[in-house]
Structure 1
Amino acid sequence: MRHTDRIATGILASLLFIPGAVSGQAGMYGKEKDKLSRQAQMYEIAVRQGVNATLTEWREAWERDDAEALSRLYLEDATLYTETATIQGRDAIAEYFRRVLPLRSGRRSLPVSFDASGVLAFQVEETTVEFAEGEGRPRIRTQRELLVLRQQWDERWLIQSQHTTGIEDEAAR
């Protein structure tokens, strides 16, 4: 067999056997991809459960007007951004809630969106707050809140920052 014939035979043989090898590799990569996809799904489920537990406590503390329970859901160095102020640290946030909670007469909050990456989770809520204003009708304020939560060493999620932006502010009809 001449040298050029051997090369041609080698090329032909490789063309016959490579597709099998490649499809075997594709199957292996497909299994790895499925495994990673399942891991990502398990991660998202675990994150959502942890974040939901914290935000359920957060909503319940708002409903009870419990400034202390509410502030415990924030990191020690958390930041609360309102439209008029930036409040830094858990103690200052607790003081803010002690002042604000008695002024309102109702609050409803609905989740709008959620995302997570590593030890951070991001939840957007649309919140409607009613403020009692003397003898008149209450003032109703609709706002968006972006909550950034950080996972702790004990797997618990705490609020690192909260950003509040007003959407609508009107007197109740």
Structure 2
Amino acid sequence: MNDSHQEIAHIQQKGELRYLFVKVGHDHFGIPIESVKEVIELVDTTMVPMCSDVIRGVINVRGSVIPVLDLQSRLGLKSTTPYDKYSCIVLYDFFDQSLEESMTLGMLVNSVVSIEFIDLNKLESSPSFGSNIPRHFEWKMAKINNKLTTLLDIKRVLNVNEINSSLKLEQEQFFIDYCQR
């Protein structure tokens, strides 16, 4: 077991998890840090034709082509907050069960806020109403600086099949609209 896996196991034994807190639009969200590869400054992305609005484009990081997901768009938030010099891309390693492969995906966020230890015993369930993102993207709520913050179910947020399904629907609607002209 390497050092990072030992550290994660030790933290989980203590009943704590580490989260990277990011600002997306006007809201703060927690992302499990154990699979965060790195955080890089916002760079220009290369657009991919016929791709969903959720995918901002692709970037080249040290010879690897990495798709970049616009987290505002993916969470269904209105894009009222422009990206600026504080915006960054969180590179996240994960195993997509539907594709049965490991991959790295970039998540475009407005800024990184902090890294926090979360006590598992102090997590609260997400409310069944009143959230401004789809409920299936929420895992739990955590109190950070006396404010409840949503911890994302990152496996659902990064589910490639779900992203591809929404792309297919967008493409079908595009062709329907085009043919009706």
Given the two structures, how large is their TM-score scaled by the length of structure 2?
0.22
Q: Kindly name which structure, 1 or 2, has the bigger radius of gyration based on alpha carbons.
A: 1
Q: Which has the higher contact order (CA 8 A, sep 6+)?
A: 2
The structure whose residues are more often helix, as a share, is: 1
Given the two structures, how large is their TM-score scaled by the length of structure 1?
0.23
